[in-house]
């Protein structure tokens, strides 16, 4: 082998692109080096997958990428849904094309920090159909990774089509060092059944599952505040528990999300004050901060709420007399206060605790609907804790020694 052909895009001696594989042609080796030289400039690679169509996977992928860009991360969004590319529409980029000098393609830009690539940018019209078999799909996905000038990125989010076919398989084979996959589902059984196959698919390909997002999880009437569950509720959480993968949170069914998608205005950016955007921000917070800081509870300032009765954790969340609000920074308790809550009406406590700056609620028992409303307000809920003093509970949580049992309230 000609040593002058070795990849020089990184200094890692363990990089598989440094050496030619046995029985690998020089042409294939050089092509693999070109791909590696692009990918090694990207810090995190996240796949957004689902075993079922129509669950809002592309909406989640687009808003995840936008949320990362808003946070200041240099972000790429790659749409490999070759037969039904939605990303150009969701970001109002339908009129964009990919400029090329014959060798390198330039991605479309959304704002300052987001670069976007989709097959939709290469079609003559939105009505054009892509009729390709597996090898052609693999080839164009490889081109999108190798021949696009992504530059240095903090994150690359990949929106894959539903199912476990050619496109998801190709991207998992091409990006061997991906951080993992975010799995999107809706709560009803017909979706859960197919999405479980997607988690199994990840396991067989050694792709870590970063977590499950339950989309369209409940509808809160904007007029009366009453919550209904047109697609059931809690199916994604139960599936995550059963399959031993993380649960990232729920995103409620919201007409504004539909309108924002049709108008090409991502709700994470243009409707960031809505409850849906808050719920999505909580998901991004859990996903990103846990990766970048290694441990949120050790390094990130936060406020933890504990419902109490008689100075100890209340067995039933709805029966609490006061909330202990405990401030934490750098793994240590920096302050606390006791506040009396407002009236216990549906949806009041989650909004009130969010106004107080709470990010986590540690409870003994809390009903599933209440947990979903807290998630929609961007607050993580931990249930099954024992009735101890609030500061003792928080210290155990920070030390990783918090013992939790059954949720004593699950109505």
The residues near 105 (Cβ < 8 Å, ≥ 6 apart) are: 98, 99, 117, 143, 147, 148, 149
Residue 10 in any domain: the answer is: no
- The more confident residue out of 293 and 75 is 75
Q: How far apart are CA 123 and CA 130, in angstroms?
A: 9
Q: For residue 386, how many C-alpha atoms fall within 13 Å in the half-sphere facing its CB?
A: 9
Whether residue 10 has pLDDT greater than 70: no
| pLDDT given at position 4 | 39
> Same domain for 357 and 383?
yes
Q: What is the extent of the structural domain holding 191? A: 15-292
Average pLDDT for 71-93: 90
Query: pTM for the whole thing?
Result: 0.68
> Same domain for 243 and 301?
no
Average pLDDT for 251-260: 82
Q: How do residues 179-227 score in pLDDT, each as one tens digit?
A: 999 999 999 898 999 999 999 999 999 999 999 999 988 776 767 667 6
- Select from 233, 234, 271, 237 the least CA-distant residue to 254: 271
| pLDDT given at position 207 | 95
> Same domain for 153 and 275?
yes
> Same domain for 282 and 338?
no
Q: For 34-110, where are the E strands, in sequence order?
A: 42-49, 75-79, 99-100, 105-106, 108-110
| pLDDT given at position 398 | 82
Per mean pLDDT, which of 19-33, 189-203, 210-224, 283-297 is the most reliable?
189-203
Query: Of 239, 270, 292, which residue sits at a domain end?
Result: 292
> Same domain for 99 and 231?
yes
Q: What is the mean pLDDT of the chain?
A: 83
- The more confident residue out of 394 and 345 is 394
> Same domain for 282 and 347?
no
* pLDDT class of 132 with cuts at 50, 70, 90: low
> Same domain for 217 and 109?
yes
Average pLDDT for 50-77: 91
What proportion of the chain, given as a percentage, has pLDDT over 90?
A: 32
Specify the number of domains making up the chain. 2
Residue 40: which CATH number? 3.40.50.300
Query: Of 264, 292, 320, which residue sits at a domain end?
Result: 292
């Amino acid at each position: 082998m000609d040593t002058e052909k070795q990849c020089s895009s990184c200094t890692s001696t363990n990089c598989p692109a440094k050496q030619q594989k046995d029985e690998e042609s020089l042409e294939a080796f050089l092509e693999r080096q070109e791909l590696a030289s692009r990918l090694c400039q990207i810090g995190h690679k996240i796949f957004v997958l689902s075993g079922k169509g129509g669950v809002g996977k592309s909406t989640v992928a687009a808003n995840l990428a936008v949320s990362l860009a808003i946070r200041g991360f240099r972000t790429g969004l790659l749409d490999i849904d070759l037969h039904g590319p939605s990303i150009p529409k969701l970001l109002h980029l339908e009129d964009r094309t990919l400029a090329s000098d014959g060798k390198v393609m330039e991605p479309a830009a959304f704002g300052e920090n987001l670069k976007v690539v989709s097959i939709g940018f290469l079609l003559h019209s939105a009505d054009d159909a892509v009729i390709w078999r597996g090898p052609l799909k693999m080839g164009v996905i490889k081109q999108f990774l190798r021949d696009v000038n992504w530059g240095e990125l903090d994150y690359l989010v990949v929106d894959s089509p539903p199912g476990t076919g050619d496109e998801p398989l190709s991207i998992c084979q091409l990006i061997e060092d991906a951080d993992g996959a975010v799995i999107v589902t809706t709560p009803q059984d017909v979706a859960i059944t197919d999405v479980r196959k997607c988690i199994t698919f990840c396991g067989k390909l050694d792709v870590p599952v970063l977590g499950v997002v339950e989309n369209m999880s409940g509808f809160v009437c904007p007029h009366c505040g009453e919550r209904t569950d047109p697609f059931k509720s809690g199916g994604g959480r139960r599936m995550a528990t059963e399959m031993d993968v993380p649960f990232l949170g729920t995103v409620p069914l919201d007409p504004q999300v539909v309108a924002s998608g049709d108008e090409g205005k991502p709700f994470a950016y243009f409707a960031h004050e809505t409850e849906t955007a808050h719920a999505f921000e909580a998901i991004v917070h859990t996903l990103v901060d846990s990766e970048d800081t290694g441990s949120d509870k050790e390094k990130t300032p936060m406020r933890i709420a504990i419902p109490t009765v008689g100075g100890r954790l209340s067995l039933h969340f709805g029966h609490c007399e006061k909330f202990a609000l405990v401030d934490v920074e750098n793994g240590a308790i920096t302050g606390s206060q006791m506040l009396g809550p407002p009236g216990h009406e549906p949806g009041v406590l989650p909004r009130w605790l969010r106004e107080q700056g709470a990010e986590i609620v540690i409870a003994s028992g809390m009903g599933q609907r209440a947990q979903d409303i807290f998630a929609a307000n961007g607050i993580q809920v931990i249930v099954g804790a024992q009735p101890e003093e609030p500061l003792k509970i928080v210290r155990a949580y920070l030390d990783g020694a918090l013992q939790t049992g059954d949720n004593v309230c699950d109505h």
